[in-house]
Chains A and B, each alone.
Chain A
Amino acid sequence: MNMKNDRENLSGSYALNGLDAAETAEFEKHLLSSDDTRNEVTELTDTAVLLGLSVAPVAPSAGLKASIMDQLDAHPQLAPLEQAAPPVVVGAAENRARARWFNRPALRLISSAAAVALILGAGVAAATVSQVRHENAMATISSASDVQQASVDLPDGAAATLVWSGELGQSALIVDSMTPPPPGKVYELWYINDSGARPAGTFTVDASGTTWQVLNGAMTAGDTVGVTVEPRGGSPVPTTDPFILIESA
């Protein structure tokens, strides 16, 4: 039996919560990349719910409701997803249901023309060696044969575009009209997938609000790139919610 079949075979067990933690994580990673399996899992989960509805209800003891109601104030509700636009459709949108951490800002696609203009104009400020190296990396990505890009608009009018090459395993983020981070803070980039968020470098923007940054480390297909606000120097794990999320799929 090959790996593929073996993974697909797990859909029933997944719907019944019969997998152990490691298998579950592995299977959820697979789910992100397979529409068929995801559909099957949805159907089998709905089927499992029918099993649950066939169980005889049991009346809770009288005090349970009061006890729960008393605790509501101590359990703040998660912020609703922003209503302004249909939720993020960069990449496979429904994957987001499973990735709660990603499930924050309402982002949407914008025209990519602005991003292209930025890439072309990006060399202007280059001065130091590291900047040149950085620019070369940028040029390599943007000239890769499989280069792709996805953009999001932020509610405050800023825009961000991710450019990536799966073959190179590299990506860069271009931002436009972005407010500089608060004093003592930087923006930090993350590669996010089911196993968590990997730091991918920090950046700031000046008053122009426009910059670009090649991400550190290797990108894996399907990674989501996120940006958070972190103390200067960056954090090993995100300490705030990402305000930009772009899926590279």
Chain B
Amino acid sequence: MLEPVPTEQDSPALRAQHLLERVATGDKVAFAALYDEMAPRVLGLVIRLLRDHSQSEEVTQEIFLEVWQNASRFDATKGGAVTWILTMTHRRAVDRVRASQASRDRDLKIGIRDMEAEFDHVSESVEVRIEHERVEKAMARLTELQRQAITLSYFGGYSNSEVSEILSVPIGTIKTRIRDGMIRLRDELGVAS
């Protein structure tokens, strides 16, 4: 018997988790619903890194097929479904950034100001806007170098050595600042395992 698709009253995180658990059993209806729930998030993040829309849709397709194939390996006791999917998304987007010729040609001199201005581009959705403001406030607590290194790394998909080159800061310092900065963000955002 098919279980009903989770209702709108459930939180998005819980909905995604229930759906993913059903996808693990081969449930295509649940997979379609999970896609509807998560695809704009996934594509939004991929585009943020890759910029090119059609290439980003290709990567989004790969990610969802990976979600389908690996759903049985998802373990809710180790983290939420949204975390699982977005972590996979970022990794795949970075893989593509590093692999594609277009990205190799990316101008390393891209202005950090442009990256940060882009971060200020806010969504219409209330939920995303709230999330964005939380993150923005937390980012404001970082030192300039921490913020720049994390922005280039996460939103730009740049490797540590590229970040080091862009910011003209030694790579060892970049690694330390990224870690300090992420720990600060973790504390500001109240993330604890």
Contacts and interface: CB of A to CB of B under 8 A. Distances in A.
Residue among A39, A48, A79 with max Cβ neighbours from chain B (10 Å):
A48
B28 interface: yes
Given A44-B186, A58-B44, A100-B73, A64 B28 contact: no
Interface residues of B, number: 77
A75 B68 contact: yes
Given A18-B158, A45-B83, A77 B72 contact: yes
Interface string A1-40: 1000010111111011111100000000000000000011
Interface in A29-66: 39-40, 42-61, 64-65
Contact of B193 (A15, A43, A67, A69): A43
A82 B185 CA distance: 38
B160 A57 contact: no
A184 interface: no
B28 A69 contact: yes
A127 interface: no
Question: Main SS of the interface on chain A?
Answer: helix
A78 interface: yes
A58 B125 CA distance: 11
Contacts of A65: 32, 35-36, 39
Nearest to B158: A18
A220 interface: no
Given A56-B123, A68-B65, A50 B189 contact: yes
A11 B179 contact: yes
Nearest to A67: B61
Interface in B160-193: 160-161, 163, 172, 174-176, 178-183, 185-186, 189, 191-193
Question: Main SS of the interface on chain B?
Answer: helix
Interface stretch (B2-10, B85-93, B102-110): B85-93
A13 B178 CA distance: 6
A48 B65 contact: no
B24 A42 contact: no
Given A18-B160, A56-B122, A57-B44, A68 B83 contact: no
B43 A58 contact: yes
Residue among A54, A59, A60 with max Cβ neighbours from chain B (10 Å):
A54
A59 B185 CA distance: 28
B135 A50 contact: yes
Given A16-B150, A48-B87, A60-B57, A103 B44 contact: no
A77 B69 contact: yes
A12 to B, nearest CB: 3
Contact of A13 (B32, B39, B157, B160): B160
Interface in B132-154: 132, 134-136, 150, 153-154
B17 interface: no
A57 B131 CA distance: 12
14 contacts: A1-B172, A17-B91, A18-B160, A20-B161, A44-B182, A45-B83, A45-B87, A48-B87, A49-B86, A52-B89, A52-B154, A56-B123, A78-B70, A80-B24
Given A13-B174, A57-B41, 5 more contacts: A19-B159, A19-B160, A20-B159, A49-B86, A53-B135
In order of increasing CB-CB distance, the 3 nearest A-B pairs are A12-B179, A57-B40, A56-B123
Interface of B: 24-26, 28, 31-32, 35-36, 39-41, 43-45, 47-48, 53, 56-57, 60-61, 64-65, 68-73, 75, 78-79, 82-83, 86-87, 89-91, 94, 121-125, 128, 131-132, 134-136, 150, 153-155, 157-161, 163, 172, 174-176, 178-183, 185-186, 189, 191-193
